[in-house]
Chain A
């Protein structure tokens, strides 16, 4: 099993550009999440999904969209990038909220 994979590993964007961060898992987990990690702020939940077709907002959802058309994939979209979105983004999956979360390797995003 590949576990949780994320692409790209690193991305530079200009303010106002859009992009999609990809996340996929092959463990048949229903629950997937997106976090951003900033220095001194820990892991903050952006959006999460409890199954295909079901998504909900986390702590910091503004500026981000998600969709969950399949169990395996959970892409994160930045519609109009801002410098405040410079961060490291982690995708995670788990069987449910009471079990281990498996994190992807992360995507480092720099918005100029």
Chain B
């Protein structure tokens, strides 16, 4: 069964850092594009970043330079490192997979809440 299990959310002060994890089971993470999508409280879905099969990464302008993605193929796990966090980064973060450009996000993690507050 395909699953994406997320962990690592929590409360962090402005300017702080947090690392989110997205562990895959039932498929090989490196064979898919994996995206991070967030949802601020009461708002719509917002694309944050993605990593392709060959390891190429892309980020939304709002997080570019502050967030990075890494992949541990031995653990079949993806990480989103979030630095210099701001109040506006407060959101539920989802990881999701697709088959590449133009394909849908067919499986999603359960989401993890990140709260940036003093």
A and B pair up: no
